Amino acid sequence: MGDLATLYSAIDKSGTGVWVQASTLGSLEALLEFLRTSKIPVFGVSIGPVHKKDVLRASIMVERKKEYALMLCFDIEVDRDAEKLAADLGVKIFRAAIIYHLFDQFTKHMAEIKEKRKSELAATAVFPSIIHIIPNNVFNNRSPIVVGVDVVEGTLRLGTPLCVPSRSVCNRNQVLVYF
């Protein structure tokens, strides 16, 4: 009990992190040390099989920081009801009998989230540019307008909407492009 109390005192329960659960105290200590050296935050631990109460505790991260709403389960069984509750609450459960496999699953999960965020940001990013419409290269003057242009400044991306703020801002054949 003293060793378990020492482990609990080393965990930051107020912050964000993953939930860690292992079969024995020794394996929990080894996993926590590996996660500490890998700079993976941990906010809660437990020993033994995963039950509903463990999933409920781990589900706190769904509201705080969704990417950490997961459980790293080392060499233990997961109750069928707990698995169903985790799916309902949005908590992912990663299971493995080898610590490095848990680490691989976690890094793959974080890479997927990073890629998803990157694609979401790219969809909302603004790429302003100034273009010059090439005379006699207007191929369609109705929607969709097809014109030949020279990019004077910035980056022009496919599907970028065009607008003309005012004639005082732009020269006669310049258009400001916003994405």
From residue 4, give the alpha-carbon distance in Å to each of 10, 13, 53, 62.
Answer: 10, 15, 18, 26
Is residue 179 classed exposed, middle or buried when 0-12, 13-18 and 19+ CB atoms within 10 A define those classes? middle
**For residue 103, what are the contacts with CB-CB under 8 A and spacing of at least 6?**
34, 35, 38, 40
Residue linked to tokens 């926590």: 32
Q: What is the pLDDT of residue 9?
A: 66
- For the whole model, what pTM was predicted? 0.65
| Residue ranges of the chain whose pLDDT lies below 50 | 172-179
Q: What is the pLDDT of residue 11?
A: 72
- Measured CA to CA, the distance from residue 150 to residue 131 in angstroms comes to 6
Domains of the chain: 2-123 (3.40.50.10050), 129-177 (no CATH)
What amino acid is encoded at 32 in this protein? L
Q: What is the pLDDT of residue 178?
A: 40
